[in-house]
Structure 1
């Protein structure tokens, strides 16, 4: 393995293992410990990993991106996911929308659904629906997380307890078959679990690059039945892992008109 490729792989491992020793990395990449130390020194200088005492390294925690930074990320994939998700919604239903850019794209698709009630914790969805006269909108206020542009906290949870929903559409920072939804903040995990309990049907909207990753250490426990909507670049082996754990997986083609 070339030096640059090895260093990229070390950084990639940061999203899954989170902690490793110099000796462990040397064995993994079949190089000397001194070579790994040089790699880590370079990656530390670049701000991509952080060193700890005792020869171990704590691989840098993935930074949460703001909504503005994520708006153009996987744009075609998000649009296709949103279009399919909107096709499930029927006139007269009451649906719950999470915060995030993919769910915001879904809100855009729902603007002309007649007799629809939408409750949301996200500013992105609110902005999309603000000019729609056919959609009744309930804002589930609370404490605003500026990075996610979503409301969290006891006021949001209290509002949710007063409503039930035909469908809930959730976003996520990442999704794994083993642990469920990965989030940057514990308040978000509590809120998403409550959102799922209040809905008859639960959908998670996440493009393929978010699947199988663990960038943070806060997790949302999944219900026994839920639907993952992603794009068709997803690894089929990963799809099998999700379905074996009870999820229905829908894949969409971002190139389809």
Structure 2
């Protein structure tokens, strides 16, 4: 293949990485119709040139992150997968527990799944969406964590939210994320959200990260919370096996939600 074709292919790789944040060898091989070994050589060249950063099984863009997507738009994405994840996550909530629900569309799906009677459940959340969803549910006691309101995520963040969390503990925390990396952890749009997420995790006995399959290997932003021992990822059955294996190799328990029966 000519050097011009190779250069064009590498430019395409950089564009794809910038569009998605992070892209994998197998995906690039299929999309560009070349062998995985060719892709690996391309990634090595692009990394040496400072165009990309190598990750497990792929590469991550180094350019400015895309704009954060508003919650109302994210709610419409991967609806069936989020419902399946929420249904599986709900089986890990027991009667009499005190749980923490993060912001995000998949965690909002869990809030909807908890509307059935669960027997004296306490839900603490910074998510206005979760508060509204559970506000009239019998047997569910809701506490809203106040703070600075972020309209784009319909949730509260900041020092007041963190101060309230410091005075609570939880049987389980259910966290949302914008992306999942075996190497880097879970991704958010900014460090303020990451700091809040890490505090949530420290105050909980069990931590569940809810993310549909398309988020595995995605790195849309540059703020990360590293994986911690005992964290569990709940995703759907469409997750790439290579991503699941890499996460489990990092010590992350991975639960795969089966699609609802039709």
TM-score, normalised to structure 2, is 0.79
Contact 1:143 1:153 in 2 (8 A): yes
Residues 50-65 of structure 1: pairs in structure 2 closer than 5 A: 59=63, 61-65=65-69
Tell me the C-alpha RMSD between the 2 structures: 2.4
Structure 1 segments unaligned to the other structure (5+ residues) = 18-24, 30-56
Tell me if the contact between 2:84 and 2:259 (Cα under 8 Å) persists in the aligned partners. yes
Q: Distance in 2 between matches of 1:97 and 1:217?
A: 23
- Output the CA distance in 2 between the equivalents of 1:255 and 1:137: 28
Q: Is the 8 A contact 2:103 2:153 kept in 1?
A: yes
Which string of whole-angstrom CA distances, capped at 9 and with x for unpartnered residues, describes residues 185-204 of structure 1? 11100000000000010000
Offset of residue 28 of structure 1: 3.3
**1:159-238 alignment runs, 5 A limit:** 159-238=164-243
**Residues 8 and 72 of structure 1: CA distance in aligned 2, closer, same or farther (over 3 Å):** farther
Of 53, 76, 82, 2:80 maps to 76
Counterpart selection for 1:11 from 15, 33, 46? 15
Residue 8 to residue 114, structure 1, CA distance change in 2 (3 Å) = farther
The answer (yes or no) to whether the contact 2:65–2:222 under 8 Å persists in 1 is: no
Distance (Å, rounded) in 2 between the aligned partners of 1:7 and 1:109: 44
2:29 corresponds in structure 1 to: none
Bigger mean CA deviation after superposition, 165-174 or 146-155? 146-155
Kindly indicate whether the alpha-carbon contact (under 8 Å) linking 1:111 and 1:134 is maintained by their aligned counterparts in 2.
Answer: no
The partner residue of 1:85 within 89, 96, 99 is 89
Between the aligned partners of 1:133 and 1:8, the Cα distance in structure 2 is 53
Check whether the contact 1:205–1:230 (CA below 8 A) recurs between aligned residues: yes
Going from structure 1 to structure 2, the CA distance change for 1:60 and 1:155 (only over 3 Å counts) comes to closer
Other structure's SS at 1:11 match = helix
Contact conserved, 2:189 with 2:222, CA < 8 A, in 1?
Answer: yes
CA distance 1:194–1:59, change in 2 (3 Å): closer
Of 89-98 and 104-113, more deviation after overlay is shown by 104-113
Deviation per CA, 1:120-166: give whole Å up to 9, x if none. Answer: 01111111101113100010111111111111111001110111100
**Separation (CA, whole Å) in 2 of partners of 1:234 and 1:199:** 26
Number of corresponding residues: 222
Supply the distance in 1 between the matched residues of 2:62 and 2:169 (Cα, whole angstroms). 43
- The 3-state SS of whatever aligns with 1:99 is coil
Aligned residues of 1:193 and 1:222 also touching (Cα < 8 A)? no
Cα deviation per residue 1:72-102 (whole Å; 9 max; x = unaligned)? 1000000000000001111100000000111
Give 3-state SS (helix, strand or coil) of 1:102's partner.
helix
